[in-house]
Amino acid sequence: MNPQDDQVPAVRRPDPMYTAESAFFWEAAERGELMAQQCQGCQQYLHPPRPMCPECLSMDLQPTQLSGRGKVYSVCSPQYPQIPAFDYPLLTALIDLEEGIRLLSNLVDVELESVQPGMPVEVCFAATVGGRAVPQFRPEGNK
């Protein structure tokens, strides 16, 4: 335990940066929902948010709520340099969502040694310093 821990706010994670295309994603996270664009031309889900479908070139992309379930594709635990806004050990993972898109996120409520590729995970949300939220993932059923 760092002696300065009681002097820093409990929430230190920085707010996400909104863009015209990504605002719906972050606003959904604030509501505790995970969303992605779904192309109305070819029905494919897209992430990160963008103005045009790379498959069929449709610009009719609708924000759609996702199941929030997926599987770990890969995981790592960055060691250096540590960023003060994050708690360590920090697990950074690629998550393959049920809807067929891959999301870069953090894994929580699990130790690195226990994570296996293909491990089922579900979305949860971390508060950010400005009162917003970002999606992260934990082992499925680990409330």
Using CB under 5 A as the criterion, which residues of the chain lie in contact with Zn ion when the complex forms? 39, 41-42, 53, 55-56, 58
* Cα 15 to chain centroid, rounded: 13
Q: Provide the minimum distance between the beta carbon of 51 and Zn ion in the complex, in angstroms, as a whole number.
A: 12
Identity of the residue numbered 90: L
Nearer to Zn ion, 41 or 63 (CB): 41
Nearer to Zn ion, 41 or 139 (CB): 41
Q: Provide the minimum distance between the beta carbon of 123 and Zn ion in the complex, in angstroms, as a whole number.
A: 24
Nearer to Zn ion, 24 or 125 (CB): 24
Q: Provide the minimum distance between the beta carbon of 99 and Zn ion in the complex, in angstroms, as a whole number.
A: 14
Exposure pattern of 102-132 as b/e (b: 16+ CB <10 Å)? ebebbbbebeeeebeeebebbbbbbebeeeb
Please choose, from the candidates 41, 48, 60, the residue with its C-alpha nearest in 3D space to the C-alpha of residue 97.
48
